[in-house]
Amino acid sequence: MRTRAAVAVAAGKPLEIMEVNLDGPKAGEVLVEIKATGLCHTDEFTRSGADPEGLFPAILGHEGAGVVLEVGPGVTSLKPGDHVIPLYTPECRECEYCLNPKTNLCQSIRTTQGRGVMPDGTSRFTTLDGDPILHYMGCSTFANHTVLPEIALAKVREDAPFDKICYIGCGVTTGIGAVINTAKVEIGSRAIVFGLGGIGLNVIQGLRLAGADQIVGVDLNPEKRAMGERFGMTDFVNPAEVEGDLVPYLVDLTKGGADYTFDATGNVGVMRTALECAHKGWGESIIIGVAPAGAEISTRPFQLVTGRVWKGTAFGGARGRTDVPKIVDWYMQGKIEIDPMITHNLTLDEINHGFDLMHEGKSIRAVVEY
Ligand code: NAD
Ligand code: 022
Ligand code: ZN
Ligand code: ZN
């Protein structure tokens, strides 16, 4: 079939909106009509050429929601008409990783996904001239139609709005999951969140859900205060306005350090600060931000010897097919909010403008509807 897509043709170039060919689903695969997609950081990381492993040409996008149109041979868990959210972290439920409750990093299709192809080693997308176009993070949601492995789709309830639940495909699940699955925050905890963007705000609402007593938000952009407060932040700190060292200031504000701290900036200096303002003896610091390629973190080992714990999380530790439908339910029940974080709605033709808004720090989430 033919479909419309935003194609990353080369590093540093704007995405090009064009018609492309899409082959039907092979064994174990599913054809999905994407109804809405969110613009997230790592799409821009790849588009700009900052990702040394970025593949071209490719159809980017990893945050979306849509409807199953056709299933390939052997697909049993989905049927045409089902509403789905694509998963850049799949859940096969049978690999060594899926069988270990300590991780969500399913490895069953990891290698081919990283190479921009389906599990059989080929791409379903080609240009109208027949040249191959690669998939991206196993999703390629910047296309009106895409093909995914069955294990990379979460089936969700049909009354949930696509233009909101697409955000659950990455940002919402990552932020809330980091609190619930990775940190396992207890009622009454004190926490600090560094970076109040599309991820950090979801960490904040996850902390409110978990019953944290103190939720400190830290951001260099003073305009982030209002949104933070709206989602449950109790204190706001702008590092540019703190005299002297930030660590002792935050340790003092949290009466000895926070039980849990979260980096949602991707800045390695911030990651160190986040670890060091975790409470001596038991404080845990969770790295969510993805740092530039080759970056390293450092601290004095005494920070860990004295009981602080450094952790990281991918996709909020969520097992997509199991956990994503539950988060959609939480949204529909009003337990979590999504709507105010979607600050911009665009058409596919306006997608490059969405990346400009991201650069300027003007959007929390821009969503494209097809
Ligand atoms: P964003 O750009 O919307 O938000 C980042 C925020 O950090 C901004 O508000 C910015 O003002 C603030 N900030 C930047 N430098 C700062 C500093 N030195 N001190 C304090 N605040 C600072 O980005 P986002 O969409 O929220 O994503 C945040 C990070 O999370 C990115 O690195 C992204 O790649 C990563 N991420 C990770 C996962 C995962 O599974 N681990 C999933 C999604 C996103
Ligand atoms: C999503 N991310 C950033 C913004 N939005 C993001 C980027 C990378 C990861 C998670 C979220 C990530 C963490 C750990 C891994 N990845 C490796 C997982 C593994 O090796 O099993 C990651 C993922 C997918 C891809 C690359 C890196 C990919 O498909 N190319 C989950
Ligand atoms: Zn993302
Ligand atoms: Zn698996």
Instruction: Please tell me the distance between residue 315's alpha carbon and the centre of ligand 2 in angstroms.
Output: 8
Q: Establish whether the linkage from the previous residue to 325 is cis, with ω within 30° of 0.
A: no
**Radius of gyration, alpha carbons of the chain:** 20
In this prediction, residue 98 carries a pLDDT of: 98
Q: In sequence order, which residues have a C-beta less than 8 Å from that of residue 115 and are 6 or more positions away?
A: 55, 134
Q: Which atom of ligand 1 is nearest to the CA of 266?
A: 32
In this prediction, residue 300 carries a pLDDT of: 98
**Options 106, 139, 166, 277, the catalytic residue:** 106
In this prediction, residue 320 carries a pLDDT of: 98
Ligand nearest to the CA of 53: 2
Q: Which atom of ligand 2 is nearest to the CA of 138?
A: 29
63 is catalytic: yes
CA distances from 274 to 116, 172, 179, 251 (A): 34, 21, 15, 10
277 is catalytic: no
Are β-strands 2-8 and 16-22 bridged in parallel, bridged antiparallel, or unpaired? antiparallel
170 is catalytic: yes
What parts of the chain have a pLDDT lower than 70?
A: none
Among 193, 186, 190, 229, CA closest to 213: 190
Are β-strands 125-126 and 284-287 bridged in parallel, bridged antiparallel, or unpaired? unpaired
Q: Strand ranges (DSSP E) for the chain?
A: 2-8, 16-22, 29-38, 58-59, 63-71, 83-86, 125-126, 132-133, 145-149, 153-156, 190-194, 214-218, 235-237, 260-263, 284-287, 309-312, 342-346, 365-369
62 is catalytic: yes
Contact 153, 177 (CB under 8 A): no
In this prediction, residue 266 carries a pLDDT of: 97
What is the rounded distance in angstroms from the CA atom of residue 162 to the CA atom of residue 370? 10
What is the rounded distance in angstroms from the CA atom of residue 68 to the CA atom of residue 101? 29
Ligand nearest to the CA of 198: 1
pLDDT digits (tens, 9 = 90+) for 217-244: 999 999 999 999 999 999 999 999 999 9
Provide the token pair at 176. 């809330």
> Which residue has the CA at smallest separation from atom 2 of ligand 1?
197
In this prediction, residue 110 carries a pLDDT of: 98
Contacts 24+ apart (CB under 8 A), 292-299: 292/50, 292/266, 293/50, 293/51, 293/52, 293/53, 295/268, 296/268, 297/268, 297/271, 297/272, 298/268, 298/272, 299/272, 299/275
> Which residue has the CA at smallest separation from atom 16 of ligand 2?
314
Contact 197, 223 (CB under 8 A): no
Q: For tokens 């704007």, what's the residue?
A: 14
Contact 166, 65 (CB under 8 A): yes
Phi, psi of 163 (to 5 degrees): -70, -10
pTM listed for this prediction:
0.98
CA distances from 285 to 6, 72, 155, 289 (A): 37, 43, 32, 12
41 is catalytic: yes
In this prediction, residue 296 carries a pLDDT of: 98
> Which residue has the CA at smallest separation from atom 28 of ligand 2?
137
**Options 139, 166, 170, 277, the catalytic residue:** 170
DSSP assignment of 274-301: HHHTBPTTT-EEEE-SPPPTT------T
28-41 burial by CB neighbour count: b if 16+ within 10 A, else e? Answer: bbbbbbbbbbbbbb
> Which residue has the CA at smallest separation from atom 25 of ligand 2?
137
Instruction: Please tell me the distance between residue 290's alpha carbon and the centre of ligand 2 in angstroms.
Output: 9
What is the rounded distance in angstroms from the CA atom of residue 251 to the CA atom of residue 284? 13
CA distances from 180 to 75, 192, 204, 212, 218 (A): 31, 15, 11, 11, 20
Task: Please give the single-letter amino acid code of residue 314.
Answer: A
In this prediction, residue 179 carries a pLDDT of: 99
Residues with CB under 5 A from ligand 3 (ion): 40, 170
What is the rounded distance in angstroms from the CA atom of residue 84 to the CA atom of residue 47? 26
Contact 106, 88 (CB under 8 A): no
